[in-house]
Structure 1
Amino acid sequence: MRPLHRLASAILAVACVLILPYEAVSHARVTVTKAGDAASDEPFGSACRVRVDGSDVTAYCHNPYPGPDHVRLHVECEHWWDLDSDTSPVVAAPAQTVRLDGRCWKEVRAAWVSHVRES
């Protein structure tokens, strides 16, 4: 009876991981810098929190570093007929928090923020 109990527990654990909503999976931060940039050794990049609520996406990005950060919100929609969107770049100045908004008509598949150094 014990091996059957362990197998059931393992199957339940795998099912929970596979059923986990996509929004709960962390997304990698995309950072774009120019090659040969002398400032590339300095700390850079706003800390961003992305929240998906139904078809609405909101991101708050706070820049704790002395250099400005150009952030953009990217929203990928679940359905093929629902258009994906990218916001215009917004400057997060030093010690500033900015809000970025996006949406889909229906479900959101993924949402993330990209960062670009000021040139």
Structure 2
Amino acid sequence: MRLSRSLASATAAVCLVISLSYEAMPHARVEAPGAAASELFGASCRSRITGSRVTTYCHNPYPRTDGVRLHIECDRWWDLDSDGAEVQAGPAQTVRLTGRCWKEVRSVWVSHRKLAR
């Protein structure tokens, strides 16, 4: 008799855990045909610092053109920081951005801007 009671309580506990974890998991939502989906945008960029030189590759997998700019902050107070010119990364295009400091590089980032289609 004890075996069936412990088996019943264990079964109830497993069912409870399974039902709770199912509710907590995110599920795919099907949008109505007329609903506007959010537009995906933004090239993914990878930067490499070699000494005082910076090379960045940005790939745009989306259909809208992305205007990317390389920004470099130099470590020395007398070394001028630089903001590169905007480069258009079209759909399925990879662009290369380069820049440098006289001495060490403190930080690098890329800014993005949606361009007209």
Shorter-chain TM-score: what band? 0.5 to 0.7
| Residues 30-71 of structure 1: CA deviation (Å, up to 9, x unaligned) | xxxxxxxxxx93000001001100000000000000000000
Aligned residue-pair number: 80
Provide the secondary structure at the position in 1 that maps to 2:70.
Answer: strand
- More relative contact order, 1 or 2 (CA 8 Å, 6+ apart): 1
Larger radius of gyration: 2
Q: Name the SS for the 1:67 alignment partner.
A: coil
- Which segments of 5 or more consecutive residues in structure 1 lack a partner in the other structure? 1-39
TM-score (normalised: structure 2): 0.66
Alpha-carbon separation, structure 1, partners of 2:48 and 2:98: 10
Structure 1: 4+ residue segments shifted above 2 A: none
RMSD (CA atoms): 1.2
Specify every segment of 5 or more residues in structure 2 that has no aligned partner in the other structure, as ranges.
1-36
Q: How high is the TM-score relative to the length of structure 1?
A: 0.65
1:98 aligns with one of 95, 100, 105: 95
Aligned-residue identity in percent = 65
Within 5 Å, give how 1:31-46 maps onto structure 2.
41-46=38-43
Pairing of 1:1-119 with structure 2 (within 5 A): 41-119=38-116
